[in-house]
Structure 1
Amino acid sequence: MVKGDRLDREGAAPLWQQLQQQLLRRIDGGEFAARFPGELALAEEYGVSRQTVRQALRQLRADGVLVAARGRQPRVAPPVEISQPVGALYSLFSAVEAAGLQQNSVVRTLDVRADAVIADRLELEGAAPLVYLERLRLAGDEPLALDRVWLPASVAEPLLAADFQHTGLYAELYRRTGLRLDHGREQIRAVVPTVAERRQLRCDDQAAAFSISRLGSSAGTPVEWRHTLVRGDRFALTAEFSGKAGYHLVGSGPREDLRGTRPAAASG
């Protein structure tokens, strides 16, 4: 706790609520990552009764900030892990919401541009205009992914009027153009983020990430090329298998041209 940071005993907010807010700020600052203090230590530090401490901790547990088994010391809850199935057309937006977290995005860029390499992947002429969307994807208040997507402007130009701060790309694409993706191919690799990427994703220098390159299509026509960098400490890929259908993944080399790889997951 910062020296001189004390509870306001004459303020309108009850002491337990002030204590809860101060503990929340300290948790957000990473102060209790190794060990959370006990009730007695907190009561002595803040000069309040243990009942006041218990009420503050009760609210932090109810909010999912702290976890504790009966008779054990509370600890800071780990970040919620986002899970996405392999082998299904799926939305990252939906996966975040399903985990009980609000999905938000910081839109870095939304414009029309040309890119000959991407156009070739979308089976277009090199100078064809492309709608480009770049976002920092958030799960709750924490960065989850850096997401860049290109679509043919001939079909996706209505997306330029969309607000992507809290909506999925595929929902907006269908609502504004009537186009629905029905097939996706992905290449997923484990990578070490660059210094700049770690700074944006707010992950430590030991964390790995998933690099996901995707070619999405509708009725056999390529309409989306996407590259997403997802924090490996907050994201998991899941798969199902059975004795009858089996479980099979096709490996791929270092090329980023996905034509010919196995259909996999997609995210909106």
Structure 2
Amino acid sequence: MAGPEGTTRGDPTSRGVDRTSALPLWAQIYDDLRRRLDAGAFTAAFPGELSLVREYGVSRHTVREALRKLRSEGLVTAERGRSPMPVQPAEIEQPLGTLYSLFASVEAAGHTQHSVVMALDIRADGVVTTRLGLEESTPLLYLARLRLADSEPLAIDRVWLPASIAAPLLEADFANTALYHELDTRCGTRLSRGHERLRAVIPTPAEQELLDMPEGTAAFAIDRLAYSVDRAVEWRQTLVRGDRFGVTSGFSARSGHLIVTGGRDTNNENGPSALLLS
């Protein structure tokens, strides 16, 4: 159920202060405000000092101490004459129609890139091998990762490659490295082109929990087929948080935008040329 600030995760309402506690009042307020921020509260605005004084029944000095601690940790910002504001995670942008790297873009935006490896093995998948133009029994290397930016979930990434090419990747540490860097250095294979289908979706409850997303928040689902010269070598499915990720596109008066509508099959080589790397 949504709280008073319109959020849905956890309990964003105030729990007040305990004047019998040995913990200072400012520290209790700091803990409570941090809990509420983590629960998704204050998405529209952060309460000002006087509002917090009334809400917690404490002095303005006490509230200022709690806010000072929040500011020192980069959780809220404050300017003279303005109410504090919660610091929102920066959106990570990717361009359409070019080769680009999620790994590099995360770090270029000032974030720390990290992944949690959920699976790395050799398996069979008849549907994927068909997409790659291979026999159904062809062994595939499968890698599934939860992609993080500054320890915050950003995307669920699943990729399949022919084991005949990618088997050396079983020895790679994908917690801190880019897939395509390892594919190049360990396997001698570089991707040269590809195409994607990108659509907005509502994640399943399990995906929502894994990505730590507020209920009802949309995500981008990206299906991708990538080639090394003329050979299809990667099929990838990525689910990325819509509140942390955006796509950009250029246009001109002469060419305008290239917009693909409907359910175009991503096996169609005339599809979009954008490719999300690593």
TM over 0.5: yes
* Cα separation, partners in 2 of 1:34 and 1:171, compared to 1, 3 Å: same
1:89 aligned partner, one-letter code? L
Partner of 1:99: 109
Once residues 204 and 18 of structure 1 are traced to their aligned partners in structure 2, the CA distance between those partners, rounded to angstroms, is 25
Partner of 2:215: 205
Structure 1 residue 49: Cα displacement: 6.8
Partner of 1:148: 158
- Contact 2:225–2:234 (CA<8 Å) still a contact in 1? yes
Once residues 275 and 110 of structure 2 are traced to their aligned partners in structure 1, the CA distance between those partners, rounded to angstroms, is 20
Report Cα offsets for 1:3-56 as digits up to 9, x if no partner. 5495646xxxxx988875664344223344455343356578496772x75465
* Cα separation, partners in 2 of 1:185 and 1:57, compared to 1, 3 Å: same
Structure 2, unaligned stretches of length 5 or more? 1-13
- Is 1:28 equivalent to 2:46 in the alignment? no
Once residues 104 and 151 of structure 1 are traced to their aligned partners in structure 2, the CA distance between those partners, rounded to angstroms, is 21
Once residues 149 and 177 of structure 2 are traced to their aligned partners in structure 1, the CA distance between those partners, rounded to angstroms, is 13
Equivalent of 2:237 in 198, 216, 227: 227
Partner of 2:269: 259
- Within 5 A, what are the aligned runs for 1:66-145? 66-145=76-155
Structure 1, unaligned stretches of length 5 or more? 10-14
Equivalent of 1:214 in 224, 231, 236: 224
Partner of 2:5: none
Report Cα offsets for 1:175-233 as digits up to 9, x if no partner. 21222212120011122222222222222332121111000111221111001111212
* Cα separation, partners in 2 of 1:62 and 1:178, compared to 1, 3 Å: farther
- TM (norm. structure 1) is 0.84
- TM (norm. structure 2) is 0.81
Partner of 1:182: 192
- Contact 1:187–1:258 (CA<8 Å) still a contact in 2? no
Number of equivalent positions:
262
CA-based RMSD: 2.9
